[in-house]
Amino acid sequence: MSADLPVVSIGLPTFNGAATLPTTLEFLVSQDFPNLEIVISDNSSLDGTEDVCRTIAATYPHISYERLGRHVSAPKNFALTLARARGAFFMWASDHDRWNRSFVSECVAALRANDHAVLAIPSATWIDEEGRPLEEIPALPDMRGLRQVERTMALIWTLNNCFPVYGMFRTEALRAIFGAGDRYQPGFDACILSDGAAMGEFINVPSATFGLTRRQDFGDGDAQLAKLGMRPRGSKLRSEFRILRFSVGRGISAARLTPKARTKAFLVVSVAAITEYRYRHLLSSY
């Protein structure tokens, strides 16, 4: 890689993030890793996001800002930051979360030490909107040394939060997985993780810590569909069932599983689908 290019690219997709972006960017520009860029993609925000970003970018030359001419889905905006990345390693950053100062350097060191790893996963904690810790988030199993089918099944059975998508990827591996983001909609973070586990190892980096903000719309299936550019249908609980089924089904389809393992995995999705259909009237009341 050219000495003029950054080693790490941080993609920051945002929409109406003016209130939280100053704090978020303060954490990112304070990283102790010396060679990184921050790529901001503003999804046609309606608040003061543009002014905030342009002001900060004028101070830090390694921050680049682009405002989209029209609003796109969340997966597309995520993909646009990845498309602009120049570094060998890549991570996404939300516009409202927090990281310890050595987050980037710890994750890069872990990936450099393991050629088979495609993703370095930090330890994560739920925080409130003021940055106060709420509770730890269970980690995925460390996948060093696991075969492809073992990695995929470990992900399917233990994934209860998709925060690892905010870990550090090898850029080319993530591009091979995610592409332009066009084939991902609901649950695209779970699909990225499923495809990633099929491609290579995930390694845990406990010394890299990540504060994930629990926002007011946390757990709201309709709100999540709206962010993805989809029209909510039915109750909130049924929307959450739809996201779950789509996410896991996409992951299973993309994974390179043996026929026997694939059959077992789809049984899990079938249970969710049957449950939604059989109890659809009850679910619609919530």
Q: Do 195 and 251 contact (CB within 8 A), yes or no?
A: yes
Q: pLDDT tens-digit profile of 32-59? A: 999 999 999 999 999 999 999 999 999 9
What is the average pLDDT value for the chain, to the nearest integer? 83
pLDDT tens digits for range 105-158:
999 999 999 999 999 999 999 999 888 999 999 988 999 999 988 888 788 777
Question: Residue 253 has what pLDDT?
Answer: 67
Contact (Cβ atoms closer than 8 angstroms) between residue 272 and residue 279 = no
β-strand partners of 91: 10, 168
pLDDT at 285: 44
More confident residue, 184 or 99: 99
Averaged pLDDT, 88-93: 98
Mean pLDDT of 13-20: 94
**Residue of 253 and 9 predicted with greater confidence:** 9
Is residue 276 left, alpha or beta, with left meaning phi > 0 and alpha meaning psi from -120 to 50? Answer: alpha
- Structural domains of the chain, ranges and CATH numbers in brackets: 8-220 (3.90.550.10)
- The strand ranges marked E within 70-115 are 89-92, 98-99
Average pLDDT score over residue span 195-216: 91
Tell me the per-residue pLDDT of 262-281, one tens digit each, with 9 for 90 and over.
767 766 665 555 555 444 44
**pLDDT given for residue 224 in this prediction:** 57
Mean pLDDT of 75-95: 95
